[in-house]
């Protein structure tokens, strides 16, 4: 994959790489540097509700600002910046305990059993569900978390980190709209062929599947007359397509009721999502036929639209796209979504707290510092660091999209099982659902593909249900 600058990656994939680390993570103990307290809180009385430099949020009252962080990989630059900002605002030391990746589950369980406190625990989508179900994490009331940022939809994340109606953490990766997969489009191609852009449709409240399909088909053509298609309307990764389409139609492939997973493939909203992909690929032939080249195809002008995170604009421009030639809009709204738009929030890094710690105001304060730092890295860092500085027009579009993106609690979406998304079985189930796209690309009837894969999918769900029973 093309090299992307360090800070850009920190926002786009915010510590996803930690999921790939082996159990050989080194152990250690560090502490944030001692800065002079400039905080907006005091240990007694009412909180001083002011915004400090570098904070998107008003400060809160934190009685016990000294906190402990459990992390299972070497802290990166952004974590150090978050701890420094927390120290500056609240005056508390952040004791950072670096432990081996393989210790995570047993160590957190032992902390909870022994009453050892840790306000900040770095988790992932692969371990959070079982930990939250097994009672080793502190319940956190996210209603107390400020969410007045222009660029962040914190409320969209609540159902990703809740189970049985209770919340046990905050999911950070892809919390920011600028690290969310959207529709990117090549302005020059749209202008050349006189096509209305996705953003124009969006502003007219008409960015739906019908106009998406029509636009993609109109921009699929043999430009040089050699009998081969050399411009496609759309390209998307095979791994991402099912999720994007189902979410945009207010649907998901699994259900979670009474602490049990079940398949939801017969849901008309799910079937419609797969059918749209089949129609665009097999009938309109407007989806590019190459695999896993959505970045390079868009870069080289082979596709008019693609779905990748918009912070990859930095690398696209660095790799040669003309300045200002990229536009973006949310994913189009499906028929069942009735004009609502959903961003694809696929959480990887989840921050929780060990059960019994009891210092949730400090946990929430650290989370707000984290949001502030990551927002700054995404939007306001100097060009020499991010390779690209969003201009005023692009920032305005980001705000516009954020303002119109539906909150999960308003949409009815719970994205895979009330926050239980993440076990290796469910991940494997999703991968199998993605494999169904390969068969659809072979122009097999949708009903045939569904029946072929149901037994495999159900097997993964059975294993996940047994795992959750054990966790309970």
User: 3-state secondary structure string, 47-87?
Assistant: CCCCECCCCCCECCCCCCCCEEEEECCCCCHHHHHHHHHHH
Cα distance between residue 345 and residue 171, in whole Å:
9
The answer, as to whether pTM is greater than 0.85, is no
Question: What is the average pLDDT across 33-60?
Answer: 48
Q: What percent of the chain has pLDDT over 90?
A: 33
Q: Which architecture does CATH list for 181-344+423-471?
A: 3-Layer(aba) Sandwich (3.40)
Please count the other Cβ atoms lying within 10 Å of the Cβ belonging to residue 334: 26
Mean pLDDT, rounded, for 102-120: 93
Inform me whether the pLDDT recorded for 149 exceeds 60: no
- Tell which wins on pLDDT, 189 or 376: 189
Answer whether 365's CB lies under 8 Å from 59's CB: yes
- CATH 3.40.190.10 boundaries in the chain: 6-178+346-392, 181-344+423-471
Alpha helix stretches (DSSP H) within 256-300: 268-278, 294-299
Task: Please tell me the predicted confidence (pLDDT) of residue 262.
Answer: 78
Read off the pLDDT of each residue in 431-455 and give the average, rounded to a whole number. 83
What pLDDT, on a 0 to 100 scale, did the predictor assign at position 254? 73
Mean pLDDT for all residues in the chain = 75
Q: What does the pLDDT read at residue 128?
A: 76
> Where residue 180 falls among pLDDT bands split at 50, 70, 90?
low
* pLDDT value for 359: 95
- Tens of pLDDT, residues 303-335: 999 987 766 777 888 889 998 999 999 889 999
Q: Which of these, 4, 13, 8, lies nearest to 347 by C-alpha position?
A: 13
Closest CA to 125 of 425, 331, 342, 458: 425
6-178+346-392 placed in CATH 3.20.20.70: no
pLDDT at site 43: 33
Residue 147 has what pLDDT?
Answer: 57
Lowest mean pLDDT among 207-211, 298-302, 361-365, 414-418: 414-418
């Amino acid at each position: 994959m093309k090299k992307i600058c360090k800070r850009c990656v920190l926002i786009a994939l915010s510590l996803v790489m930690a999921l790939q680390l082996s159990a050989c993570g080194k152990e250690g103990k560090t502490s944030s540097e001692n800065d002079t307290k400039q905080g907006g809180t005091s240990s007694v009385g009412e909180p001083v509700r002011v915004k400090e430099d570098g904070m998107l949020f008003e400060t809160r009252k934190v009685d016990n600002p000294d906190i402990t962080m459990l992390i299972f990989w070497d802290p990166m630059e952004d974590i150090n910046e978050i701890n420094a900002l927390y120290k500056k605002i609240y005056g508390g030391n952040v004791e950072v305990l670096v432990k081996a990746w393989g210790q995570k589950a047993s160590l957190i369980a032992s902390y909870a059993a022994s009453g050892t406190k840790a306000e900040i625990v770095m988790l992932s989508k692969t371990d959070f569900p079982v930990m939250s179900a097994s009672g080793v994490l502190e319940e956190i009331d996210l209603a107390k978390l400020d969410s007045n940022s222009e660029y962040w939809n914190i409320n969209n994340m609540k159902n990703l980190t809740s189970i049985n109606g209770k919340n046990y953490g905050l999911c950070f990766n892809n919390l920011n709209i600028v690290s969310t997969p959207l529709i990117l489009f090549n302005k020059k191609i749209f202008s050349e062929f006189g096509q209305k852009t996705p953003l124009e449709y969006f502003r007219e409240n008409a960015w739906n599947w019908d106009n998406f399909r029509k636009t993609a088909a109109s921009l699929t053509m043999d430009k040089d007359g050699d009998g081969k298609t050399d411009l496609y309307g759309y390209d998307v990764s095979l791994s991402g397509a099912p999720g994007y389409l189902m979410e945009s139609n207010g649907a998901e492939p699994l259900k979670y009721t009474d602490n049990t997973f079940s398949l939801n493939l017969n849901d008309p909203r799910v079937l419609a999502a797969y059918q749209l992909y089949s129609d665009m690929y097999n009938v309109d032939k407007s989806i590019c036929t190459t695999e896993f080249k959505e970045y390079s195809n868009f870069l080289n002008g082979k596709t008019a639209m693609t779905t990748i995170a918009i912070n990859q604009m930095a690398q696209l421009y660095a790799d040669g796209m003309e300045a200002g030639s990229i536009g973006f809009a949310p994913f189009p709204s499906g028929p069942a979504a009735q004009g609502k738009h959903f961003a694809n929030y696929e959480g990887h890094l989840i921050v929780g707290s060990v059960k019994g710690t009891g210092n949730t105001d400090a946990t929430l304060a650290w989370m707000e510092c984290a949001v502030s730092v990551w927002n700054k890295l995404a939007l306001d860092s100097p060009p020499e660091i991010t390779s690209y500085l969003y201009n005023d027009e692009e920032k305005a579009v980001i705000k516009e999209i954020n303002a119109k993106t539906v909150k999960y609690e308003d949409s009815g979406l719970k994205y895979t099982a009330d926050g239980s998304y993440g076990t290796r079985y469910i991940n494997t189930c999703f991968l199998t659902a993605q494999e169904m796209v390969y068969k659809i690309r072979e122009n097999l009837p949708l009903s045939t593909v569904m029946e072929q894969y149901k037994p495999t999918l159900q097997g993964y769900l059975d294993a996940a249900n047994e795992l959750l029973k054990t966790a309970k």
